[in-house]
Amino acid sequence: MELTPNQERLLASIHADLREFAGRHFSYGKCPEKTQTLAANDGLVRCDALRWLNLPVTPSNRVKANRELKKLAVAGLIELHASRGCRNTHCSLSKIGERVAKTLKEGVFK
């Protein structure tokens, strides 16, 4: 599968957020990202596709970003996790997605 620039950016950003939050240490009650840190330690990051794609918050951009995430999930590069079965709140990289993200990371943010 050939990835679009948006899909490449999403993969690299998910990988970067996982690395950032998983490496944090916090003392209870003092870290506002405590739940994100705990989720990252389990291999999950909160879905924030608009930030990852650097798009303004509009309904059409939200749909566009979610479609890109779903395409990555269908390709087997990420896994989407729903909260209470209603909407995707977190995502994680599959083993293949992690390998692809590591190779992409250097060139995507230039």
**Domains of the chain as residue ranges with CATH:** 5-108 (1.10.10.10)
25 vs 13, higher pLDDT:
13
Q: What residues does 88 pair with on adjacent strands?
A: 82
Torsion angle, alpha carbons of 20, 38, 31, 19, to 10: 0
What tens digit of pLDDT does each residue of 16-63 get? 888 877 766 555 555 555 555 555 566 788 888 999 999 999 999 999
CA atoms of 31 and 104, how far apart (whole Å): 30
Higher pLDDT residue, 79 or 84? 79
Residues with Cβ within 8 Å of 25's Cβ and at least 6 positions away in sequence, in order, are none
The residue behind tokens 């190779």 is 103
Q: Residue 56: what residue type?
A: P
Structure confidence at residue 110 as a pLDDT band (50, 70, 90): very low
